[in-house]
């Protein structure tokens, strides 16, 4: 089956080469054993997934592995953000140990961002690191969380505060899997597609404005193009700044500081999906950029209008929160990017011109959020 290949180049040619391929195409799950090849070196392959994904793909994965003379060993977890916690991290780790996973083995994360983050973190800490393969089945996971090696769990103090950088050995992004997603999940993932245009590619944002509604409606070619372009954009950033040390990779957090505060306020529940929070967060980042004199109001309105045209919440007031702006700002103080008491924000000088501002006044953010809640 045909597919596009995007390489994530990390230390290529050195003894610390962590480079890997992201394959984007249709039918990759059915061909997963052939594509993974020598990475699956044992007759038994541990697979972590959730209940929703298992109903859809367990049979296909079993058949693919059996055709290659291998058997899947399954750990099926509850779906949802609440699964990214200490208890389920222990459950996944114990599962790998019970299955005899060694440092040279590769386990499989089959599912969306929650499964990928949780499984990847367990792989990072198991015997100080084993290999893992990402098979992302949601749009958000295909274009963002499955690529780049950020793995983590949530804690009562905040989102993704305990984790590790641990790169996958291979990512298989099966576009056909997107046909099974509810529209709400597609829209949530689409927010991360739009993000790449807003960061540094105004032409891609224009492409989204033109093609976003048709992509969401089911056009497979548009979906494939969006995933391939998004993965390529993220691969470039990760290759330049794998561990977010220079500030380049921090731009991928556009909308996330605002969005994580909204997720915390809604209890990391189905009331607000991660991608929905990021979409609102990017609108808020644009509005705050206008307030700070960095960006024209017309650009911020254009961003909000695009999300609205795609059927998404486009203003904070749409969420119907009953809290203060100060409370939302206080959530941000638990952000993992806090550094010496200051919190950097990704803002914009225009569409496709994101930058990192390390001098934002959190009191001004609190006042701004209060205005946006009204």
Packing angle of the helix pair 183-200, 297-309 (nearest 10 deg): 160
Contact (CB, 8 A) for 73 and 45: yes
Chain center to CA of 229:
15
Tokens describing residue 101: 């996973």
Task: Please state, in angstroms and rounded to a whole number, the distance separating the CA atoms of residues 175 and 137.
Answer: 8
Element (H, E) at 161: strand 158-165
Helical H runs in 177-296?
Answer: 183-200, 202-217, 220-240, 256-265, 274-291
Contacting residues for 146 by C-beta, under 8 A, at least 6 apart = 22, 109, 113, 116, 134, 136, 168, 171, 173
Q: How far separated are the first and last CA of the chain, in Å rounded?
A: 52
Q: Which two tokens stand for residue 297?
A: 């109001």
Q: How many CB atoms lie within 10 A of CB 362?
A: 16
Instruction: Report how far residue 26's alpha carbon sits from residue 110's, in angstroms, rounded to the nearest whole number.
Output: 16
Tally Cβ neighbours within 10 Å of residue 103. 10
Task: Write out the catalytic residue numbers.
Answer: 128, 150, 192, 234, 244, 249, 253, 256, 260, 274
- Dihedral (Cα; 279, 77, 166, 40), 10-degree rounding: -130
């Amino acid at each position: 089956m045909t597919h596009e290949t995007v390489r994530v180049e990390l230390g290529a040619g050195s003894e610390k080469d962590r480079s890997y391929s992201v394959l984007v195409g249709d039918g990759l799950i059915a061909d997963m054993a052939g594509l993974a090849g020598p990475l699956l070196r044992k007759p038994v392959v541990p697979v972590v997934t959730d209940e929703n994904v298992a109903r859809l793909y367990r049979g296909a994965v079993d058949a693919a592995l059996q055709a290659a003379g291998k058997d899947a060993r399954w750990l099926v977890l509850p779906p949802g953000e609440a699964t990214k916690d200490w208890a389920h991290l222990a459950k996944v780790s114990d599962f790998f140990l019970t299955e005899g996973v060694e440092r040279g083995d590769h386990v499989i994360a089959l599912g969306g961002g929650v499964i990928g983050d949780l499984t990847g973190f367990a792989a990072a800490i198991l015997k100080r690191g084993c290999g893992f393969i990402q098979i992302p089945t949601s749009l958000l996971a295909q274009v963002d969380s499955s690529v780049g090696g950020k793995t983590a769990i949530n804690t009562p103090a905040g989102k993704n505060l305990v984790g590790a950088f641990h790169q996958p050995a291979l990512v298989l992004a099966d576009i056909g899997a997107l046909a099974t997603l509810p529209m709400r999940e597609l829209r949530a993932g689409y927010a991360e597609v739009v993000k790449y245009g807003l960061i540094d590619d105004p032409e891609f944002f224009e492409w989204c404005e033109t093609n976003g509604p048709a992509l969401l409606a089911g056009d497979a070619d548009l979906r494939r193009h969006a995933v391939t372009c998004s993965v390529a954009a993220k691969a470039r950033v990760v290759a330049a700044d794998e561990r977010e040390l220079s500030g380049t990779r921090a731009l991928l957090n556009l909308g996330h500081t605002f969005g994580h505060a909204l997720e915390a306020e809604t209890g990391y529940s189905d009331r607000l999906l991660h991608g929905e929070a990021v979409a609102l967060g990017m609108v808020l980042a644009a509005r705050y950029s206008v307030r700070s004199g960095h960006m024209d109001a017309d650009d911020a309105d254009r961003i909000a209008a695009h999300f609205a045209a795609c059927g998404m919440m486009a203003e904070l007031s749409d969420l119907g929160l009953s809290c203060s702006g100060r409370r939302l700002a206080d959530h941000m103080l638990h952000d993992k990017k806090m550094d010496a008491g200051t919190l950097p924000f990704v803002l914009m000088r225009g569409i496709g011109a994101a930058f990192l501002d390390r001098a934002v006044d959190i009191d001004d953010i609190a006042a701004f959020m209060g205005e946006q809640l009204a």
